Chains A and B, each alone.
Chain A
Amino acid sequence: MRPIHIESFTAASCLGLGVDSTFKALLARESGLERCAFETVDIDTYIGEVRGVDEVRVPRELSRFDCRNNRLAELALRQDGFLDSIAAATARWGRRRMGVFVGTSTAGILQTELAYRQRDPVSGALPSGFEYSSTHNSFSVADYLRRRLDLAGPAMVVSCACASSAKVFGSARRMIEAGLIDAALVGGVDSLCLTTLYGFHSLQLSSPSPCRPFDVSRNGISIGEAAAFALLERTPGNLDGDAALLLGVGESSDAYHMSAPHPEGQGARQAMQSALRAAGLGPADIDYINLHGTATPSNDRSESQAVTGVFGRTTPASSTKGATGHTLGAAGALEAVICVLALRQGLMPGGVHTTRVDPMLTANYLLENRRVPLSHVLSNSFGFGGTNCSLIFGRAG
């Protein structure tokens, strides 16, 4: 595929607001996970909650979009001069030539969960102030962003569970390549809600301690929330060497099970191989792998086999979910931002919370940070329904 320029990017997660604080926290090997005290949730688990989301206000003319998910999106937009980057891109390309492609798994479903506690005792009706289309519906976050930023190109949400916001990079890249648009806002936004906290708990997939990806005693995920965005553009002719590029996208399906990965990671392997093919790279060209690494026993086992099958046992790899939690539909975009930071800063972030790597997992899992110049990094995202997506990023020079 033709490389796509990553013009700018930003993220808000429990690890930090904006890329500078995110990078500093990675460098200091911090984790944003804390014991769950979200809303009225009474589950013994750790979560990655973003501070200050409740205090964010959406613009008054978009008040019908007001909900935790869109507040989190708004919070990320305000970091890193991202609003200015979008404005400059709009001036460059025109608002109709800019698409909006955002991944989410639950959007603002928290609003509906709360509304179900306030049903009319006689009729059962939801409260009159409840807004379905601009909070609950999956599209609400993309709709909020295109109105907030006044963009008028194609817009949609990708909702493929935990691979959602990796897959938006593929959609944006195809739209640019097909000539339908010149630039795109891509990203992922997923916020804490009862559906996912109680849902993963019901599947016995959430850990009572901070998650420990690839650890011998790992026992489940820590749910997090995040908003992460990138501005993708048709690659200009004159890029400096520090510029970041999207070089490859690989997608596949497991055709195996709705909520368990293929035991040998066949679909994951196919996604990584097809990303390498799209980028015109071989396994030896990848300097670092940001794993999906959720810290469930079966996910990490499956991914390790897939990674070793494609790359052998030496390519350094880690999961940043010990630091950020599993941000579900936002994970692909958040980890894409971490990969671009890794390239720019020459940092392979070591996994946090993991102390002893499972000897059965043969991938080269990093427990310490490494500062080395990086040329190409790969990021994995996999989801329920057996959906897989791998992204490859590189430096222009």
Chain B
Amino acid sequence: MRLSAYVNGIGVLGPNLANWPDAALALTSRRDYVPAPTVLPPAALLPPAERRRVGRVVKLALNVALEAATHSNSDPGELASVFSSSGGDGHNCHELCEALARPQREVSPTRFSNSVHNAAAGYWSIATGSKRESNVLCAFDASFGAGLLEAMTQVVVEGESVLLVAYDTEYPEPIRAKRPVPDAFGVALVLSPSPHPNSLVRIDAALTDALPDTLANPALEALRMSIPAARSLPFLLQAASRESGTAVLDYLDVARIVLNVAPCA
């Protein structure tokens, strides 16, 4: 069984990866890649008060989502969405657990509202006015693959365009010692059932037993292995190469995802 979709826009943000064009240069070795801490710009979509309040996970998700939606030339309010993250807002979670460990147990209502795994999707919907369906997933290290399958089945079955946003940020200590995600990485794709003037590539997905592709650049391979959303890098490399080929992406222990990637004219 194969699932097919067209990729009309890509957003990327990660360690020394400022956006999709910048990431494409690094992936195809047209510029040097040296890891450096991820710089998260403010979430431009949000009103100023909220922009200051939201955590790194919301900034990350909204930035890559907006980049992909803008490149695809689609109205963000008209896109169905799938958000997938291996852990949500680690800093907010830490603050809540600290508050609950103190005798007074004074929990901030804002922290509690923002602790839901779908916080970023909620802010996106409010900021873009999107009333479309939005699903929010977690599959631990398989979260990118889970998001991709969910988004592609939605494209194929419902025949509609879907924004996929996969994003992960770090936990602070002491959870960090148990879940050592080192930094923030996010990727967003706008997928549609039929070709579009902005289509970059067509992808055909299937489950496979093959092992995931690795990246030749050791720094990028380390990134792929250390942040779940960066399991998307073999696909991003193939899309950046502007050549037809395949990318095998890490997913569950029992299955990987093979993508045939074909550039659109």
Contact = CB atoms under 8 A, between A and B. Distances in A.
Contacts of A105: 116-117
Interface string A143-154: 100000000111
A116 B173 CA distance: 11
Interface in A140-179: 140, 142-143, 152-161, 167, 170-171, 174-175, 177-179
B137 A158 contact: yes
How many A residues touch the partner, as a band?
35 or more
B116 A385 contact: yes
B117 A137 contact: no
Given A143-B140, A158-B137, A178-B3, A124 B173 contact: yes
Given A152-B254, A195-B115, A199-B115, A119 B137 contact: no
A255 B109 contact: no
B125 A178 contact: no
Given A125-B177, A139-B139, A202-B108, A255 B101 contact: no
Interface string B152-171: 11101110000000000000
B126 interface: yes
A179 B1 contact: yes
B181 to A, nearest CB: 11
A270 interface: yes
A contacts with B: majority SS: mixed
A112 B177 contact: no
Contacts of B107: 195, 198-199, 201-202
Contacts of A300: none
B133 A252 contact: yes
A29 B53 CA distance: 45
A139 B178 contact: no
B194 to A, nearest CB: 16
Contacts of A387: 118, 121-122, 134, 136
Given A137-B86, A143-B140, A202-B107, A386 B125 contact: yes
Contacts of A252: 131-133
B56 to A, nearest CB: 17
Given A156-B146, A385-B116, A113 B100 contact: yes
A383 B96 contact: no
A258 B107 CA distance: 17
7 closest A-B pairs by beta carbon, nearest first, are A385-B122, A199-B112, A251-B133, A159-B117, A138-B138, A116-B101, A156-B146
14 contacts: A130-B178, A137-B138, A138-B87, A155-B139, A155-B142, A159-B88, A159-B136, A160-B136, A167-B135, A175-B153, A177-B157, A195-B112, A254-B125, A258-B126
Interface of B: 1, 3, 77, 86-88, 93, 96-98, 100-101, 105-109, 112-119, 121-123, 125-126, 128-140, 142-143, 146, 149-150, 152-154, 156-158, 173-175, 177-179, 207, 252, 254-255
